[in-house]
A and B are shown apart, each in its own frame.
Chain A
Amino acid sequence: MFLAFFYLLKARGLRPSIHQWMTLMDALSRGMGGASLTGFYALCRAVLLTNEADFDRFDEAFLEFFRDVALGEDIPPEFLDWIAESPRVRDLDDRDEIWDSLVSYKELLKRLEERLLEQKERHDGGTYWVGTGGASTQGHGGFHEQGIRVGGEGRHGNALAVAAAHRYRDFREDEVLGVRQFQTALRHLRQYSSRDTAARTELDLPGTIDGTAANAGTLKLVYERPRVNTVKLLVLFDCAGSMEPYARLANRLFQAVSRANHFKDTRFYYFHNSVYDKLYRTAECITGDWVDSDYVLRLLDGEYRLVIVGDANMAPYELFMKSGIAVRGIYSGEPSIDRLRRFRRRFGHAVWLNPIPRARWSSQRGHETIAAIGDIFPMHELTLGGLDKAIRELLTRPAQM
Chain B
Amino acid sequence: MAETFREAYGGSADYVLSDELRGAVNIAVALEKPLLIKGEPGTGKTMLARSIADALGKELIVWSIKSTTKAQDGLYHYDTVQRLYDSQFGEGDVKDIARYIKLGRLGEAFTSADRAVLLIDEIDKADLEFPNDLLWELDQMEFYIPETKETVRAASRPIVVITSNAEKELPDAFLRRCIFHYIAFPEPEQMERIVRVHYPDLEDALVAAAIEKFYELRGIGDLQKKPATSELLDWLLALSLSGIPAERLAAEIPFLGVLLKKNEDTDTYQEVQEKGYSLRGFKRPPG
Output the residue of A15, A32, A55, A241 with the most chain B CB within 10 A: A32
Give the shortest distance, in Å, between A137 (CB) and chain B (any CB): 24
B27 touches A32 (CB 8 A): yes
Q: Mask for B168-180, Cβ within 8 A of A = 1, else 0? A: 1111100111111
**Distance between Cα atoms of A269 and B182 in the complex (Å):** 35
* A316 proximal to B (CB < 8 A): no
Binds A, one of B52-60, B234-242, B278-286: B278-286
Q: What total of chain A residues lie within 8 Å of the partner, measured CB to CB? A: 48
A178 in complex: contacting residue of B3, B27, B167, B169, CB < 8 Å: B169
CB of B28 to closest CB in A, whole Å:
8
A326 at the interface (CB under 8 A from B): yes
Q: Which residue of B lies closest to A182 (CB)?
A: B169
Q: Given the complex of chains A and B, what is the CA–CA distance between A326 and B287 in angstroms?
A: 6
Q: Does B140 reach chain A (CB closer than 8 Å)?
A: no
Interface residue A8 (Cβ < 8 Å from any Cβ of B): no
Is A23 in contact with B33, judged by CB distance below 8 angstroms?
yes
Against B, the Cβ 8 Å flags (1 = close, 0 = not) of A28-63 are 111110100001001101110111100100000000
Interchain CB contact under 8 A, A241 and B285: yes
Tell me, rounded to whole Å, the shortest Cβ–Cβ distance linking B278 to chain A: 15
Q: Contacts A17-B176, A39-B23 hold; do A284 and B3 have CB atoms under 8 A apart? A: no
A47 and B287 form a contact (CB under 8 A): no
**Are A19 and B176 in contact (CB-based, < 8 A)?**
yes
- Measured CB to CB, the nearest residue on chain B to A283 is B285
- Which of B80-88, B149-157, B225-233 touches A? B80-88
B33 to chain A, nearest CB (A): 7
Contacts of A180 in B (CB 8 A): 128, 168-169, 171
When chains A and B are docked, how far (Å) is the Cα of A178 from the Cα of B67? 21
B171 touches A30 (CB 8 A): no
A218 contacts chain B at the CB level, 8 A cutoff: yes
Whole-angstrom CA separation of A285 from B286 in the bound complex: 7
- Chain A residues with CB under 8 A of B33: 23
CB distance from A192 to the nearest CB of B (A): 16
Please, which residues of chain B bring their CB within 8 A of the CB of A17? 176
Interface membership of A75, Cβ < 8 A: no
Query: What residues of chain A lie closer than 8 Å to B170, measured between beta carbons?
Result: 50
Q: Is B31 an interface residue (CB 8 A)?
A: yes
Contact partner of B176 (CB less than 8 A), chosen from A20, A34, A45, A284, is A20
B8 to chain A, nearest CB (A): 11
Q: Which of B26, B36, B285 contacts A239 (CB 8 A)?
A: B285
A42 to B180, CA, bound (A): 10
Within 8 A of B (CB), among A248-291: 259, 261, 272-273, 284-287
Closest-CB distance, A252 to chain B (whole angstroms) = 10
Does A26 reach chain B (CB closer than 8 Å)? yes
A51 and B67 CA atoms in complex are apart in Å by 22
The answer to whether A219 and B172 have CB atoms under 8 Å apart is no
Q: Chain B residues near A286: list those with CB within 8 A.
A: 283, 286
Q: Report B-chain residues with C-beta under 8 Å of the C-beta of A219.
A: 84-85, 88
Cα-based distance from A328 to B169 in the complex (angstroms):
41
B1 in the interface (beta carbon within 8 A): yes
CB–CB B27/A47 < 8 A: yes
A148 CB, nearest partner CB in chain B, Å: 30
* B181 at the A interface (CB under 8 A): yes
Count residues on chain B whose CB falls below 8 Å from chain A CBs: 42
With A241-B285, A327-B286 in contact, is A34–B5 under 8 Å at CB?
A: yes
Task: Flag whether A92 is at the interface (Cβ < 8 A).
Answer: no
Of the candidates B2, B24, B177, B284, the one whose C-beta lies within 8 Å of that of A30 is B2
B285 touches A46 (CB 8 A): no
Q: How far is the CB of A107 from chain B (nearest CB, A)?
A: 19
Does the CB pair B1–A29 fall under 8 Å?
yes
Beta-carbon contact of B176 and A50 below 8 Å? yes
Interchain CB contact under 8 A, B171 and A46: no
Residues in B with CB closer than 8 Å to A261 are 67
Q: B36 — which chain A residues lie within 8 A by C-beta? A: 50
- B99 CB → nearest A CB, Å: 18
Complex contacts, A221 vs chain B, CB 8 Å: 81, 84
**Contact with A29, one of B2, B38, B177, B180 (Cβ below 8 angstroms):** B2
Contact of A284 among B4, B175, B283 (CB under 8 A): B283
Report whether B24 and A218 are in contact in the complex, using a CB–CB cutoff of 8 Å.
Answer: no
Contact: A52 with B24, CB < 8 Å?
A: no
Question: A39-B23, A180-B168 given as contacts; is B283 within 8 A of A30 (CB)?
Answer: no
Given contacts A19-B176, A34-B5, A187-B128, contact A284 B30 (CB under 8 A): no
Residues from chain B with Cβ under 8 Å of A55 in the complex: 182
Interface presence of B271 (CB below 8 A): no
Known: A20-B176, A28-B2, A184-B128. A327 touches B287 (CB 8 A): yes
Closest A residue to B26 by beta carbon equals: A32
With beta carbons under 8 angstroms apart, the residue of B19, B84, B168 that contacts A183 is B168
CB of A351 closer than 8 Å to a CB of B:
no
Q: B20 contacts the other chain (Cβ, under 8 Å)? A: yes
Q: What are the residues of chain B within 8 A of A29 when measuring CB–CB?
A: 1-2
Contact A272 B286 (CB under 8 A): yes
Of B31, B36, B171, chain A has the most CB atoms within 10 Å of the CB of B31
Question: In whole angstroms, how far apart are the Cα atoms of A15 and B284 in the complex?
Answer: 37
The interface of chain B, by Cβ under 8 A from chain A, is 1-5, 19-20, 23-24, 26-28, 30-31, 33, 36, 38, 67, 81, 84-85, 88, 128, 167-172, 175-182, 283-287
Contacts A/B (CB < 8 Å), 21 sampled: A27-B30, A28-B2, A32-B27, A45-B180, A46-B180, A46-B181, A47-B180, A50-B170, A50-B176, A178-B169, A203-B81, A221-B84, A239-B285, A241-B285, A259-B167, A259-B168, A261-B67, A272-B285, A272-B286, A285-B285, A326-B287
- 10 smallest CB-CB distances across A and B, nearest first, come from A50-B175, A31-B2, A52-B182, A180-B169, A31-B5, A285-B285, A327-B287, A284-B283, A46-B24, A326-B287
Chain A residues packing against B (C-beta within 8 Å): 15, 17, 19-20, 23, 26-32, 34, 39, 42-43, 45-47, 49-52, 55, 178-180, 183-184, 187, 203, 218-219, 221, 239-241, 259, 261, 272-273, 284-287, 326-328
Given known contacts A180-B171, A327-B286, what 15 new A-B pairs fall within 8 Å (CB)? Answer: A23-B31, A23-B33, A30-B3, A32-B5, A32-B27, A43-B27, A46-B23, A50-B172, A50-B180, A51-B180, A55-B182, A285-B285, A326-B287, A327-B287, A328-B286
